[in-house]
Amino acid sequence: MKRAMLLCLLALALTALAGCGGRADLAFEERYAIDGDLDPAGRTMTYTQRAEITNTGTDETKELWFHLYANMYKGLFQTEDGDVAVTSVTDGAGAPLRYERSQEGVLYWVELAVPLAPGETAVVVFGCEVTIPDLAQKYGVSKAGDLQLPGFNLQLAVYDENGWDTDPLQEEGDGRYARTADYDVTVRAPEGYALACNGDELAVTDLAGVTEYRYRCLDRRDLVLIASKGYVRRERQAGDVRVLGYFDPNTAMVTETAMDQVMDAAAFALQYFGELFGPYPHQTLVVTNAALGTNFAVSMEYSGLITVYFDGDGSTSGKEMVTYHEVAHQWFYAAVGSDENREPWLDEAFAEFAGYLCLEAAGSDWPCWEIAANAAGAEQVKDDKVDLPADEHPVYQWGVYDRGCLCLKELMDAMGRDAFLAVLRGYCQDHWMGIAATADFTAAVRAAAGSDGAVEDILAKYIQN
């Protein structure tokens, strides 16, 4: 994510539900099917979501935890008029299951009728009603009437060495922590709207006064739906990848020239990062303009879709930098997952660093490294460890983005560019479509650098884990 303006966040009282007891050996694979009806004018969507959860661990479990991340925006921004309400939870045969809602509806606990044994698959079907608020940061309806609906669905919580991830929301960072999963999405909307999703479009069918869209989203770490009456479509080819742009010219600064700049930048970055870190894993990347709120806009990454704020300091480099950063998240967030609450630098600093490399490769003379070094050396963060949890950084932007980026730059300078980029490529390969921690990265650095004292000094200076 990159914010265009700092937001004034209201304090939020959080209550964490107690997690599970002793840690069992649990692991899961997930497949989801969503079938919904979107009414943009009425600002509602009703959908059912079928979750097929396979236990790939060695212990059984009777409980499953799900996140419903869209409700985080309501909690963080105190919007009263938007909610994703779960109205029913049943098994595959329609029998009701016990469930509890917590954390303002971000977290759901579901009790299965019978324990889910290793190798078995449980089906949980959720009925949901969405009421869509005015844009709250990344979620809702913009003044131009553009809908952005990230995380409107339920997503099985990660089960890791700490058990189920039921960490409460934090005010800083993007807050997500998820495995990849496959999604089949069917959504109907009134004629006249253009819809897009962070997956491959399978079919668009005209029904009576309604258009039905079907998408398949494979290996996605999240789900996002966008819709607008005003979208125009643009297209580029980046090697084998189709870049699909959906832009609303009714949104300030979304001009023909700016659309071209963003599309060209996205195509360039896809190819550049593909060569550097491994091929982009999907057939399509969707690019859209960030929806404008009353005093903010947020560029954001999803798995296979990015939103780009079109001001970008009013300069070509600013707009391109934002695009490069969000495309880089397709590697550092979407392909290689991490916990955005506990170690947000693993996606943000790496995307910032990769974005700067891309900026250089594109021939820009924007002084990105100097800007990062200045921010990273500020009094408030100059001793900050980059791998702190999101809410422990004295100044989140400077500590996570700038200081994290500088840490990677210093490692590259100490090890040599080729050696360090080989470490990053190996780190991506080792955790491709998985989840990585800071210790995985530092182990990869040490495996390549041996007992290099300069590298150890940099790790000790910047990293606590």
Residues at the contact surface with Zn ion, assessed by CB under 5 A: 1, 348, 351
Residue 318 is encoded by which pair of tokens? 């600013």
The residue (of 348 and 410) whose beta carbon lies closer to Zn ion is: 348
The residue (of 2 and 236) whose beta carbon lies closer to Zn ion is: 2
The residue (of 30 and 348) whose beta carbon lies closer to Zn ion is: 348
Contact, 224 vs 149, CB < 8 A?
Answer: yes
Q: Report the residue number whose CB is nearest to Zn ion.
A: 1
| Minimal distance, residue 152 CB to Zn ion, in Å | 21
Starting at the earlier edge strand, list the strands of the sheet with 241-247. 2-3, 298-302, 305-308, 284-289, 241-247, 232-238
- Gyration radius of the chain over CA positions: 21
List, as one string, the DSSP characters of 75-119. Answer: HHHT-SS-EEEEEEEEETTS-B-EEEEEGGGTEEEEEEEEEE-TT
- Amino acid letter, 107: L
List, as one string, the DSSP characters of 312-351. Answer: GGGSHHHHHHHHHHHHHTTTBTTTEE--TTT-THHHHHHH
Dihedral pair phi/psi, residue 152, rounded to 5°: -75, -10
Please tell me the chain's helix, strand, coil percentages from 3-state DSSP, rounded to the nearest 5. 30, 35, 40
| Minimal distance, residue 172 CB to Zn ion, in Å | 12
| Minimal distance, residue 366 CB to Zn ion, in Å | 17
Kindly tell me the burial class for residue 403, based on how many C-beta atoms sit within 10 Å of its own C-beta (0-12, 13-18, 19 or more).
Answer: buried
| Minimal distance, residue 333 CB to Zn ion, in Å | 8
The residue (of 105 and 389) whose beta carbon lies closer to Zn ion is: 389
Contact, 233 vs 272, CB < 8 A?
Answer: no
The residue (of 154 and 308) whose beta carbon lies closer to Zn ion is: 308
Q: Indicate the DSSP class of residue 255.
A: -
Q: Cα dihedral angle (434, 241, 2, 255), rounded to 10 degrees?
A: -170
* Euclidean distance between CA atoms 86 and 108, whole angstroms: 9
* Euclidean distance between CA atoms 133 and 234, whole angstroms: 28
| Minimal distance, residue 2 CB to Zn ion, in Å | 5
The residue (of 89 and 424) whose beta carbon lies closer to Zn ion is: 424
The residue (of 188 and 403) whose beta carbon lies closer to Zn ion is: 403
449 CB-side CA count, 13 A: 26
SS3 361: helix
* Euclidean distance between CA atoms 420 and 442, whole angstroms: 12
The residue (of 140 and 355) whose beta carbon lies closer to Zn ion is: 355
| Minimal distance, residue 299 CB to Zn ion, in Å | 8
| Minimal distance, residue 401 CB to Zn ion, in Å | 8
The residue (of 144 and 359) whose beta carbon lies closer to Zn ion is: 359
Kindly tell me the burial class for residue 206, based on how many C-beta atoms sit within 10 Å of its own C-beta (0-12, 13-18, 19 or more).
Answer: exposed
| Minimal distance, residue 196 CB to Zn ion, in Å | 20
The residue (of 213 and 353) whose beta carbon lies closer to Zn ion is: 353
Starting at the earlier edge strand, list the strands of the sheet with 181-190. 83-91, 121-131, 44-55, 28-39, 181-190, 210-220, 200-206
| Minimal distance, residue 270 CB to Zn ion, in Å | 16
The residue (of 188 and 393) whose beta carbon lies closer to Zn ion is: 393
| Minimal distance, residue 175 CB to Zn ion, in Å | 13
| Minimal distance, residue 309 CB to Zn ion, in Å | 12
The angle at the Cα of 181, spanning 176 to 185, to the nearest 5 degrees, equals 100
| Minimal distance, residue 322 CB to Zn ion, in Å | 9
The residue whose two tokens read 């909690």 is: 75
The residue (of 1 and 124) whose beta carbon lies closer to Zn ion is: 1
